[in-house]
Amino acid sequence: MGGNTFGTSLQITTYGESHGHALGVIIDGLEPGFTIDLDDLSFQMSRRRPGGNRLGTERNEADAVEILSGIFEGKTTGTPLSIIIRNTNQRSHDYTDISRFFRPGHADFTWQKKFGIRDWRGGGRSSGRETAARLAAGAIAMQILRSKGIVITAYTTQIGSVIAKKRDLSAVTENLVSCCDSEAAREMEQLIDSCRESKESVGGIIECLVTGCPVGLGEPVFQKTEALLAHAILSIGATRGIEFGEGFLSAQMTGSQHNDPISPEGFLSNHAGGINGGITNGEDIFFRVPVKPTASIEQPQKTIDLEGQSQTIVVKGRHDPSIVVRIVPVIEAMTALTLLSLYYDQFGRS
Amino acid sequence: MGGNTFGTSLQITTYGESHGHALGVIIDGLEPGFTIDLDDLSFQMSRRRPGGNRLGTERNEADAVEILSGIFEGKTTGTPLSIIIRNTNQRSHDYTDISRFFRPGHADFTWQKKFGIRDWRGGGRSSGRETAARLAAGAIAMQILRSKGIVITAYTTQIGSVIAKKRDLSAVTENLVSCCDSEAAREMEQLIDSCRESKESVGGIIECLVTGCPVGLGEPVFQKTEALLAHAILSIGATRGIEFGEGFLSAQMTGSQHNDPISPEGFLSNHAGGINGGITNGEDIFFRVPVKPTASIEQPQKTIDLEGQSQTIVVKGRHDPSIVVRIVPVIEAMTALTLLSLYYDQFGRS
Amino acid sequence: MGGNTFGTSLQITTYGESHGHALGVIIDGLEPGFTIDLDDLSFQMSRRRPGGNRLGTERNEADAVEILSGIFEGKTTGTPLSIIIRNTNQRSHDYTDISRFFRPGHADFTWQKKFGIRDWRGGGRSSGRETAARLAAGAIAMQILRSKGIVITAYTTQIGSVIAKKRDLSAVTENLVSCCDSEAAREMEQLIDSCRESKESVGGIIECLVTGCPVGLGEPVFQKTEALLAHAILSIGATRGIEFGEGFLSAQMTGSQHNDPISPEGFLSNHAGGINGGITNGEDIFFRVPVKPTASIEQPQKTIDLEGQSQTIVVKGRHDPSIVVRIVPVIEAMTALTLLSLYYDQFGRS
Amino acid sequence: MGGNTFGTSLQITTYGESHGHALGVIIDGLEPGFTIDLDDLSFQMSRRRPGGNRLGTERNEADAVEILSGIFEGKTTGTPLSIIIRNTNQRSHDYTDISRFFRPGHADFTWQKKFGIRDWRGGGRSSGRETAARLAAGAIAMQILRSKGIVITAYTTQIGSVIAKKRDLSAVTENLVSCCDSEAAREMEQLIDSCRESKESVGGIIECLVTGCPVGLGEPVFQKTEALLAHAILSIGATRGIEFGEGFLSAQMTGSQHNDPISPEGFLSNHAGGINGGITNGEDIFFRVPVKPTASIEQPQKTIDLEGQSQTIVVKGRHDPSIVVRIVPVIEAMTALTLLSLYYDQFGRS
């Protein structure tokens, strides 16, 4: 009930603070006998790591992963796989101003009220850095899913008011904002640069596409695929919602527009986003996720201190003007962990 | 793992098919000594019951609840409270056409593929009727929350392209569409009537507002308040997403626009929707939920049969042109169950 | 966390008080397509039902089961199966003396202190009658296990100081005490009769044997087969322990005596009781369970009342001088539910 | 469902193989603001560590613990506390003979059949070394319980046929076998020494006493205190059973002998072992646990190899003639984790 474990057949448990000794994750329930691709694991970690992108934070972390257990001669054994990621580039002195003031848009206030104590260095466990552990676990889940033909791709479709006009997945790895439209990507990059200069931040929208998912994942009623994915995605800090298939647009559609007709060759449209009654139907799954603007901005903001007195805070440090790009792989990771757990629920572990 | 249990400190387990003997719910973990208001319980059931609203289905169910356990001399005892709702007005012969054809937009196809067998009468357990059990449990959770000063109100803000222009909560119980804008409500009612005539259906958007929630509910990382509410809400059939606070709009906002400044008297705005870092901050919680158009429409649609052959289906029966109105109390119910469980997690049961 | 749900892949949730309207159970996670034998279900219920045995209580309950959901045309559908058992023969006036006095050996005192309220009629939910719901669920689990070749048999090996001298399973259904030794059974019956006359009660020991269990059930570390069975069995009121294989005797054995050598044809002995490292090894599983003497005795006993004042209580009512016999099928039931859940964990649901 | 997580309000998740890089545990759900005594933690680890006792294995491990997260300025923060214990003295070459032969009495056979792969070095995750992680978590739980007045003490009462004649808790730390009777301890030590010489091993019995536990821990029905303790204790390798209070002896007792009368000052006897109806009653809790003889013996034993062929194995290595002594602190640890979780369930975290 501490809330640091996620999943059913496949479970992850994470730990670690932004400026503590290390972050880590235990993955429990993996199928035995799977050969883990360590190069791919490192590559996935590099996608989110601080300092890995000129648009992001200047904090530079190697985010090297060490696997402590659960592998024998390169293969999973079915026992818990423990991964540790050491913190090496924390600079706590940057944050000493914030030990007593609550940063607006952050969890400082609620955390202090709930626990009566908090590791305020870099936000402690409420820092986005916590997601590095999820990413490591998700990278392994993605490898296993890929071996079953299931491929997950997330990408940016909007930063501020710049909106992608097309869905060109080949473009996603070709720009600094993981956008599916090269032209829009350039504008997005400029927007982020200008935000950095004006000490502002900006939000965005991420879309996630899953191909190759078999029919039958998800359990009726409370463990519907959408419910579990929504749980997974909304557990990522800074996400503000989720919509599947036509999502909010479906409010304006009629039944004959929204229903997907069925033919012997499969569904003739995919307004549902690949899920009916909570169970995957074999079509592509897709959903969209709004991400709020980075809460840390180097501008004066009204707040209070530990004693409840009015204060003005300017949040210094090494912040991303937009965290959208770094959340893209985290959304893939949480999607992978959710779907692999559902896969094991339905088809077992071998 | 059958997926019919929801919650942590407070758990509900539901059962029942649309045309089976009964639906029901076991509520486990309720605080002892609470006096249940049976009249209020009946009233809440009437808000969703079939036949309770001239705009809805013509199926007429009393939806009388019988409490089998967990109460002694009118008070909860801390033991599981079991509620049963008998089905009385099922007319299975209306559905015999659909025993072999998969209805587009329904769970027929996925259910058949996943389980290899299904109770096709009225959609079996995938029917919206399943939510009657949640509603009974939620009505009790709402009573307990109200005794702690926490009030949950959901209402329609959009049906098709008709959008509420104001948030007048006093209007919600005064119209047939649970809308927060009396004027818009009239247009919505007309739209639904015209859909019925044209054998069409239409979607909508529901908003939910929670007032009086204390600081400190929700656990960091995987049990964030938004994550649990999203799980709860997306487990309701026909919902297609959820957004908290500014939601999808936050993508276009800057940090200085979106951050809520803090004063000694509280937050100076509420873009976050009452939650920071997954933990409630004492402000109002609010979120919006898109609902798709009813899948059952009395129009010819392309589909396949059990043998995979092309077929045309016209879904007859007693259907709601819009299920939005009947989902409104279900959203309140799932919100109440989620928040009461989090309340017990944080503050205990007494 | 209310504690009324048990299992992982297969879960049961029970409810009901001794003198309330009904008892019941929801079984969630059953494989779809299994034809339930309703006659066998009734027969199993009759084994535990009050009034079913001249040695037991005089309370006479039909214990008729009604299945409310989860079955279609005689087969399980994979949805939750809800079973209700109405109470019909409760006589609360027998118990009015005990509404204010705590009965020694019962849960009256602890329940009052924990919850501050209790349904004192017949012990409420702490009554052994609660196990009727488990029995119904277990009977179905036993049918499914039997179809997979797994057979569970529990039997009495000791009542008071009368000890069975042989393990003749064909004798178990031939006597009133479910004993595996016809001769000892006669002595046990006499002992129970004499206890009834002297207003005393007596304990006993039950052994449980599982044949046909495949290799591989149970998960290492915290979900070992013994750990889950111990949890299941010790959750039955009046049980005071459990031992597997050689159990307490193993303390006096040497490694060369206790280790089971392995041959190409299988294990050459079975001191371990069919489990190694928490995982079933294909041999027979067996364990023994001590059951305490019935706490309700019609003799004066020292106790206190609700105000903490000294009192003397004589517990009247219709009590079993020994509850061992009625616990025998409950042990089979809980064993079946535990093993079927582990079976689904390992081999899936189909 | 991988089975490596234990607990409800307080959860531990463990990982690690005997000869892998490290063992570890994540403790989730600890109350915030508790000052951990690191010296006591190291002392507790030393009680179980290999090489810490001349009677035990010659493997010498420092078992130094490193806390990676969850602590700030010496205090718990309410976030997951991660502890890592590096393996330093593994000598895998001692075990190369066992990579292909299944050791009798070990989990080699079942593990191979279940997973199809296993880290055979030192038994991998099925090694008793796995309990080092539980011990670290339990040591912290014991500190917190002690601050609430709850004290847990386990001790040896039997090794082979040598049985303790008295319960002198002050003796427990004064001898090498953690026995509550100094005289018996000397005989036990001699018995273990002679076992080492004769290449044999021997079992024993451990008793555990809990004082200071308040009324009200444990939930009725499936989460009874005995059920959870039995689950916890039987999840420790080599344990073969458990009995509470009078345990197996209760089979021979009458109701008037076994019932504990109640007076205004408390219970007048304690045959129940401090628990009624699954809920603690304020008296001392006590239970006994049989431990089988060490499976590893340096004698020829019949077995089979990976291909199922007959083989003879002599298990070499550095083994304890009796593992009873090293299991004593593990029983304390698992008892502490179980009771602290139940304490939080009942009284919350602060």
- Please write the tens of the pLDDT for every residue from A95-147: 557 899 999 999 999 999 999 999 999 899 999 999 999 999 999 999 999 99
- B92 — pLDDT class (breaks 50, 70, 90): low
Q: Give B59 to chain A, closest Cα distance, Å.
A: 20
- Find the CATH number of the domain harbouring A71: 3.60.150.10
Chain D residues lying within 8 Å of B347, measured CB to CB: 348
- Say whether residue B24 is in contact with chain C using an 8 A CB cutoff: yes
Task: Say whether pLDDT at C49 is over 90.
Answer: no
Q: What is the mean pLDDT of residues B112-135?
A: 94
Beta-strand relationship, C65-67 and C151-159: unpaired
Residue in C110, C279, C309 closest to D114 by CB: C279
Considering only A59-68, B117-126, B193-202, which range has the smallest mean pLDDT?
A: A59-68
Q: What is the mean pLDDT of residues C310-316?
A: 92
Q: What is the mean pLDDT of residues B200-217?
A: 98
CB A141 within 8 A of CB A10: yes
pLDDT at B51: 66
Task: Give the residue on C whose Cα is nearest the Cα of A343.
Answer: C348
- pLDDT by residue (tens digit) across D267-315? 999 999 999 999 999 999 999 999 999 999 999 999 999 999 999 999 9
Count Cβ–Cβ pairs < 8 Å, chain A vs chain D: 169
- Say if the Cβ atoms of B102 and A262 lie within 8 Å: yes
Task: Give the residue on B whose Cα is nearest the Cα of A237.
Answer: B277
Q: Residue C299 has which token pair?
A: 């003799």
Q: Give A96 to chain B, closest Cα distance, Å.
A: 20
Residue in C79, C347, C348 closest to A220 by CB: C79
Strands (E), B182-340: 204-211, 241-244, 262-263, 266-267, 275-276, 279-280, 285-291, 300-304, 310-314
Count Cβ–Cβ pairs < 8 Å, chain B vs chain D: 6
Chain D residues lying within 8 Å of C250, measured CB to CB: 203, 240, 290-293
Task: Note which residues in 250-289 of chain A have CB less than 8 A from chain B.
Answer: 250-264, 268, 272, 275-281, 287-288
Q: What is the mean pLDDT of residues B4-19?
A: 96
Interface mutation vs chain C, best among D110, D199, D263, D271, most C CBs within 10 Å: D110
For residues C209 and A290, what is the distance between their CA atoms, to the nearest angstrom?
57
Task: Say whether pLDDT at A94 is over 80.
Answer: no
- Say if the Cβ atoms of D28 and A5 lie within 8 Å: yes
Question: Which distant-in-sequence residues (6+ apart) come within 8 Å of C179 by Cβ?
Answer: C155, C156, C157, C159, C164, C171, C172, C185, C188
Q: What is the mean pLDDT of residues B241-265?
A: 98
Which domain, by its residues, includes D10? 5-347
Chain C residues lying within 8 Å of D24, measured CB to CB: none
- Say whether residue D293 is in contact with chain C using an 8 A CB cutoff: yes
Task: Say whether pLDDT at D51 is over 70.
Answer: no
Q: Residue C261 has which token pair?
A: 């050598």
pLDDT at D89: 73
- Neighbouring chains of A at 3+ CB pairs within 8 Å? B, C, D
- Say if the Cβ atoms of B161 and A252 lie within 8 Å: yes
- Say if the Cβ atoms of D259 and C290 lie within 8 Å: no
A55 against B324, higher pLDDT:
B324
Interface mutation vs chain B, best among A208, A250, A346, most B CBs within 10 Å: A250
D298, with CB counted inside 10 A (0-12, 13-18, 19+), is: middle
Chain B residues lying within 8 Å of C124, measured CB to CB: 72, 77, 79
Task: Give the residue on A whose Cα is nearest the Cα of C345.
Answer: A348
- D97 — pLDDT class (breaks 50, 70, 90): confident
β-bridge partners, A312: A302
Task: Say whether pLDDT at D346 is over 70.
Answer: yes
Tally of domains in chain D: 1
Chain D residues lying within 8 Å of A14, measured CB to CB: 80
C34-39: long-range contacts (C-beta < 8 A, 24 or more apart)? C34/C75, C34/C76, C34/C143, C34/C144, C34/C147, C35/C74, C35/C75, C36/C67, C36/C71, C36/C74, C36/C75, C36/C76, C36/C140, C36/C143, C37/C143
What DSSP assignment string belongs to C93-155?
GGGGGGGSBPPTTSSHHHHHHHHS----GGGGGGSGGGHHHHHHHHHHHHHHHHHTT-EEEEE
Interface mutation vs chain A, best among D69, D86, D343, most A CBs within 10 Å: D69
Percentage of chain D with pLDDT > 70? 96
pLDDT at B58: 65
Task: Say whether pLDDT at B334 is over 60.
Answer: yes
Task: Say whether pLDDT at D67 is over 60.
Answer: yes
Q: Give A73 to chain B, closest Cα distance, Å.
A: 32
- pLDDT by residue (tens digit) across A266-293? 999 999 999 999 999 999 999 999 999 9
- pLDDT by residue (tens digit) across A291-317? 999 999 999 999 999 999 999 999 987
Task: Note which residues in 161-180 of chain A have CB less than 8 A from chain B.
Answer: 161
- Say whether residue A2 is in contact with chain C using an 8 A CB cutoff: no
- Say whether residue C96 is in contact with chain B using an 8 A CB cutoff: no
pLDDT at D54: 74
Q: Give B140 to chain D, closest Cα distance, Å.
A: 22
Percentage of chain C with pLDDT > 90? 88
Q: Report CA-CA distances (Å) from C67 to C12, C75, C138.
A: 14, 12, 14
- pLDDT by residue (tens digit) across C197-253? 999 999 999 999 999 999 999 999 999 999 999 999 999 999 999 999 999 999 999
pLDDT at A101: 95
- Say if the Cβ atoms of B261 and A293 lie within 8 Å: no
- pLDDT by residue (tens digit) across D183-224? 999 999 999 999 999 999 999 999 999 999 999 999 999 999
- Say if the Cβ atoms of B66 and C21 lie within 8 Å: yes
Question: What one-letter code names the amino acid at B279?
Answer: I
Question: Which distant-in-sequence residues (6+ apart) come within 8 Å of C190 by Cβ?
Answer: none
Q: Give D26 to chain B, closest Cα distance, Å.
A: 15
- C317 — pLDDT class (breaks 50, 70, 90): confident
Residue in D1, D79, D348 closest to B220 by CB: D79
Task: Say whether pLDDT at D93 is over 70.
Answer: no
- Say if the Cβ atoms of D310 and C263 lie within 8 Å: yes
Task: Say whether pLDDT at B239 is over 70.
Answer: yes
Count Cβ–Cβ pairs < 8 Å, chain A vs chain B: 353
- pLDDT by residue (tens digit) across C116-174? 999 999 899 999 999 999 999 999 999 999 999 999 999 999 999 999 999 999 999 99
Chain B residues lying within 8 Å of C10, measured CB to CB: 1-2
Q: Report CA-CA distances (Å) from D283 to C305, D211, D216.
A: 18, 7, 11
- Say if the Cβ atoms of C246 and D227 lie within 8 Å: no
Conformation bin of residue D326: beta by default, left when phi > 0, alpha when psi is -120 to 50? alpha
Chain C residues lying within 8 Å of A347, measured CB to CB: 348
Residues in chain A: 350
pLDDT at C91: 64
Task: Give the residue on D whose Cα is nearest the Cα of B349.
Answer: D346
Q: What is the mean pLDDT of residues D123-144?
A: 96
Task: Say whether pLDDT at D145 is over 70.
Answer: yes
- Say if the Cβ atoms of B195 and A222 lie within 8 Å: no
Rg (CA), chain B: 21
pLDDT at D90: 67
Task: Give the residue on A whose Cα is nearest the Cα of C344.
Answer: A348
- Say if the Cβ atoms of B79 and D220 lie within 8 Å: yes
Average pLDDT for chain B: 94
Task: Note which residues in 99-158 of chain B have CB less than 8 A from chain C.
Answer: 114-119, 124-125
Conformation bin of residue B63: beta by default, left when phi > 0, alpha when psi is -120 to 50? left
Identify the top-confidence range among B118-132, C82-96, C236-250, D80-94.
Answer: C236-250
For residues D30 and D342, what is the distance between their CA atoms, to the nearest angstrom?
12
Residue in A13, A32, A77 closest to D5 by CB: A13
Question: What is the interface pTM, i.e. ipTM, of the complex?
Answer: 0.97
Task: Say whether pLDDT at A52 is over 70.
Answer: no
D59 against D32, higher pLDDT:
D32
Considering only C32-36, C44-48, D136-140, which range has the smallest mean pLDDT?
A: C44-48
- C51 — pLDDT class (breaks 50, 70, 90): low
Task: Say whether pLDDT at B63 is over 70.
Answer: yes
**SS3 assignment, position A244:** strand
Q: What is the mean pLDDT of residues C262-291?
A: 98
A88 against C342, higher pLDDT:
C342
For residues A276, A8, B20, B120, the Cα torsion angle rounded to the nearest 10 degrees is: 30
Task: Say whether pLDDT at A93 is over 80.
Answer: no
Chain D residues lying within 8 Å of A4, measured CB to CB: 26, 28, 79-80
Average pLDDT for chain C: 94
